[in-house]
Amino acid sequence: MQALHSLMKKYFYRVSLPLAIDQTFIYQHDSQISNGCRVLVNFKNKDRIGIALDLCKKPSFKTLNVKEVLDESAIFNKDDLELIFWTSKYYFHPIGQVIDTFTPTYLKKLKPKAEVRAIPNIDNNKKYDFKFKKILTSKQKDAFNAIIKIKSSKPILLNGITGSGKTEVYARVIAKSVQNNQGVLILTPEIALTPQLSTYLKDIFDDQVETYHSGVTAKKRYEIWEKARSGETKIFVGTRSAVLLPIKNLGLIVVDEEHDQSYKQNEGLLFSARDLAVKRADLLKIPIILGSGTPSLRSLHQSEIGKYTQVLIDERVHSQNPPKISIHDTNGMMLNCGLSDLSIQTIKKTVADGKLAMIFINRRGYAPEFSCAQCDWIATCHHCETNMVMHIDKERLVCHRCESVFAIPSKCPNCMSDRLDLKGQGTQRIEAFLKKELSIKNVFRFDSDATKNSGDLEALVDRIHQSTSGVIVGTQMLTKGHNFKDLELVVVLNIDHGLTSVSPFALEDMAHKLIQVSGRAGRKSGRAKVILQTRYPNHPTLQRLEKGDYNSFAESVLSDRELQNIHPFYFYISIKSASTKLERNINFLSKIISYENLNEKEFAGPMPLSIYKQRGKYNHQLVIMSASRTKLHQKTESIIKAISRIPESRQLSWKIDVDPLQF
């Protein structure tokens, strides 16, 4: 019996496990397993679910048996696995954790077979007939024709100003793909934007549209995942986590608002869904449309050097072009709740005329500083060394980094004085000011606190649509995609830091927000105004953006930067470290510089992150840079090897962030 058993052929598989080790493991099985199936294996005396990656040679060491093969067909096909391997390599992230990031929660556990959905029979020759309700404008028609004529597999940059009707153009291209029986993936930067986009598409494509994001229950997500795999549904709208949806016969990818920094995930696998989407399209040789009213400098540069094909839409659907921005110098002015007299008068007039106004301030809460007028005490979070923000609705001080909540002291804890002051303003304080001091009845606060629960955002948007006049006060949530008719005035506060920041991404981010938030206005009348309060009225960037012309701003920034070694002509990888001891971070990062003999053009730092301290830990980074991605990756590989020789590496946590956005 024993002899017979050893004669039986064994198959050896490389298996990935969801562990923080960048390694695969070899297990044996009596029969063949398709690559990409889940397998149950024993690892360090624990049962684990892994993925069988591929067949390999019999190793020299003893291997354990696969306990059970959990799938009849692969959950990741050959193309998916190729993208997963690429992701692991590009982001220096363990393969098992990459797979874990893109596996529906439902498949991470053992489920009785009955709960796993049976795949229905799909008619692969189904004829689709869609009714379009809108007639394309001539500019939309030109863009659509240009897109479908493109034969190369370069990414398509659809650069269409806000309100130019990009969604309708996507829809026409999507219809072509579906009629060819292909699947379509559409990414949006935020959950908040998915209802709007899905509703738009469902109106045309009916039950062929599914929405996939973290707000959908695990069970439902798994069902959608299966619908993608089987080809039962064709069109999938989703956020970052949807980028690897195993859509059958994927024929088109659309990335809406491609410039948006929310495409970058900032915990776990630090990937950019936009960049992964581009890679996915490249591997599959399928078209990808990157749409934006304010394309990233990176995309515009790629177009300039011929790596992307650019398609322009330079007119709005309703021909009222985006409003001009008037630069309002507030130097030396007395501000009232952050607002100048001019801003206040214009807001009042807009509301009195029965119109809608909007105030954009990128800060939630009531006031960002609570301090003593008698001594130098400021309320700060002990864990994060940052100011506590007053939240009037909660009657509490809140730390925006760790969400710790503190009671409001009635006396200064330092000198016992009762002269406590609130400085600065957030959305809540402006809301209160408009209601109390300006007696404005309809004030709509549009921030993450006001839209915590599912359905809140939709309800808020509905209330705004139903009311003809009033004021919307909101954070960067406002800059994204929403259409408010009758919006005649936008007042922009506090964006000056974008002009002075050292980060190579800050200027562009500021320009995106300014142009996007301005673009919400005047979609109907053409008389809309944008007031930008600033202390840098002569800053060349503002001078260029004043006309609302993002493209000329971008062109001049690109030509300025070409001669300096800076994004988008330069690439970055950051080594981030977190420790309870500040010196430990600095020592660790400094040793990387000396061990690797980095010359001063190759790195910046060690420097504190913008979130300098959080939950008791200091955060620092060393940024490695190069004009060549290949060189940068080679350097990073060598750094990772060197790190194992640095003793501090075992006393702190560190990670690699490829294409970081925080400086």
- Shortest distance, position 380 Cβ to Zn ion, whole Å: 9
- Token look-up 């404005």 returns 440
Q: Does 162 bind ligand ADP (CB under 6 A)?
A: yes
Q: Does 374 bind Zn ion (CB under 5 A)?
A: yes
Helix axes 138-149, 166-179, angle to 10 degrees: 40
Q: Does 378 bind Zn ion (CB under 5 A)?
A: no
Query: Which of 155, 163, 568, 660 is the binder for ligand ADP (CB under 6 A)?
Result: 163
Q: Does 160 bind ligand ADP (CB under 6 A)?
A: yes
100 binds, among ligand ADP, Zn ion, none (CB under 5 to 8 A by kind): none
- Shortest distance, position 186 Cβ to ligand ADP, whole Å: 12
Q: How many CB atoms lie within 10 A of CB 643?
A: 20
- Shortest distance, position 196 Cβ to ligand ADP, whole Å: 8
Which is nearest to 228 in space by CA: 117, 148, 130? 117
> What length is written for the chain?
663
- Shortest distance, position 171 Cβ to ligand ADP, whole Å: 9
Q: How many CB atoms lie within 10 A of CB 105?
A: 13
Q: Does 381 bind Zn ion (CB under 5 A)?
A: yes
Measured from the CB atom, is 448 or 525 closer to Zn ion? 448
Amino acid present at 272: S
Please list the helix, strand and coil fractions of the chain in percent, rounded to the nearest 5, in that order.
35, 25, 40
Put residue 257 in one of left, alpha, beta given phi > 0 → left and psi -120 to 50 → alpha: left
179 binds, among Zn ion, ligand ADP, none (CB under 5 to 8 A by kind): none
Please provide the DSSP assignment of 479-534 as one string. GSS---TTEEEEEE-S-THHHH---TTHHHHHHHHHHHHHTTS-SSSS--EEEEEE
Task: Tell me the residue number closest to ligand ADP, measured at CB.
Answer: 165
182-199: string of b/e by CB count within 10 Å (b at 16+)? bbbbbbbbbbbbbbbbbe
166 binds, among Zn ion, ligand ADP, none (CB under 5 to 8 A by kind): ligand ADP
Please tell me whether the peptide bond between 606 and the residue prior to it is cis, using omega within 30 degrees of 0. yes
- Shortest distance, position 175 Cβ to ligand ADP, whole Å: 14
Q: Does 208 bind ligand ADP (CB under 6 A)?
A: no
Interaction with ligand ADP in 287-316: which residues (CB under 6 A)?
A: 293
Query: Which of 89, 324, 383, 544 is the binder for Zn ion (CB under 5 A)?
Result: 383
Q: CA 530, CA 545: separation in Å to the nearest integer?
A: 12
Q: How many CB atoms lie within 10 A of CB 37?
A: 20
Query: Which of 173, 317, 515, 573 is the binder for ligand ADP (CB under 6 A)?
Result: 317
Measured from the CB atom, is 161 or 397 closer to Zn ion? 397
Q: Does 167 bind ligand ADP (CB under 6 A)?
A: yes
Burial class (CB in 10 A: 0-12, 13-18, 19+), 153: middle
Measured from the CB atom, is 374 or 501 closer to Zn ion? 374
Binding mask 10-49 for ligand ADP (x = CB under 6 A): ----------------------------------------
Please count the residues of this chain forming the interface with Zn ion, following the rule CB under 5 A: 15
Please tell me whether the peptide bond between 413 and the residue prior to it is cis, using omega within 30 degrees of 0. no
Interaction with ligand ADP in 111-140: which residues (CB under 6 A)?
A: 134-137, 140
- Shortest distance, position 628 Cβ to ligand ADP, whole Å: 35
Amino acid present at 408: I
- Token look-up 């109907």 returns 524
Helix axes 297-304, 550-562, angle to 10 degrees: 70
Q: Does 164 bind ligand ADP (CB under 6 A)?
A: yes
483 binds, among Zn ion, ligand ADP, none (CB under 5 to 8 A by kind): ligand ADP
Measured from the CB atom, is 68 or 418 closer to Zn ion? 418
Amino acid present at 596: E
Please count the residues of this chain forming the interface with ligand ADP, following the rule CB under 6 A: 16
Interaction with ligand ADP in 474-513: which residues (CB under 6 A)?
A: 483
Contact footprint for ligand ADP (CB under 6 A): 134-137, 140, 160, 162-168, 293, 317, 483
Residues found near Zn ion in the complex (CB under 5 A): 372, 374-375, 377, 381, 383-384, 399, 401-402, 404, 412, 414-415, 417
